[in-house]
Chains A and B, each alone.
Chain A
C-alpha cells in the first residue's frame, strides 16, 4: 500500500517551453500533496502544499505563476513548470499524505528529473 507514482520520470525540454509533471496516489486518497525540489547533493526544499479542490499554498520565494499546481482529485496533482529556463533543471519530487499506512506520513513519488537546455 501507499504507492505514489510520478510521470514522466525524466524530461528534457528547450528553454521557454512548459513541462507538466503528474503525481498520483495509486492505492489511497491523498488529502494533501506536497511538491519538493532537490538540487544535486542538497536537501529537499518544499515548494508548495496542494489540497484537493483548493488553491495551492506556496513557500516563500516560489513563484506561483511559474510553478502552476492543480489538485483536481484526491489521487492526482500536477505541477507545470512554465517558460522553463536552465536554472529550473532539478529533481522534482511529490509526496502524498493520506490515511494509508501511518497517519500523517508522507509517501514520496519516484521523482522527475528535469533538464532544461
Chain B
C-alpha cells in the first residue's frame, strides 16, 4: 500500500538536476510532496490534484500521471538548500476522501558544493 519512491538516495553537485519518482499500486485522488531536513518536520512543497497536472515554483516542479498512478518531482539547477529527504504522500481513492496520506519511504538528496 505504501507508494514506492525511486531512487532511494541521490548525490548531486550544485547546479545539477534530479528526478524523484513516486509510484502507487492504488488509484489516487492526489499526490503531495514534502521535504524534510534532519531532525525537523516535513515542509510542504506542492500538491497535485488532477491527472496530467504539472506544478512548480522556483526550480522545483512536479507532475502527476493519474492513469499510471505515478508522480515525479523535478529539481533543476540544484542548490545546497535542496538537501534533505523528499517524501511523496499519496491519497488513495480506496480510503475515501478522508485526507489520509500514505507516505513513501523517502528519497535522500545530498547536494554538494
- A residues apposed to B, CB below 8 Å: 32, 34, 42-46, 49, 57, 93, 97, 101-102, 104-111
Contact of A106 among B40, B101, B102, B106 (CB under 8 A): B101
Cβ of A74 to closest chain B Cβ, rounded Å: 15
Contact present for A106 and B32 (CB under 8 Å) = yes
**Chain B residues near A107 (CB, 8 Å)?**
44
Q: Which residues of B from 17 to 63 have beta carbons under 8 Å from A?
A: 30, 32, 34, 40-44, 47, 49
Contact present for B47 and A44 (CB under 8 Å) = no
Contact present for A46 and B102 (CB under 8 Å) = yes
Contact present for B104 and A104 (CB under 8 Å) = no
Closest chain A residue to B46, Cβ basis: A102
Known: A44-B87, A104-B49. A34 touches B99 (CB 8 A): yes
A43–B105 Cα gap in the complex (Å)? 5
Contact present for B40 and A110 (CB under 8 Å) = yes
Minimum-distance CB pairs A-B, first 9 = A108-B41, A111-B41, A44-B103, A43-B103, A110-B41, A43-B105, A108-B42, A97-B99, A32-B99
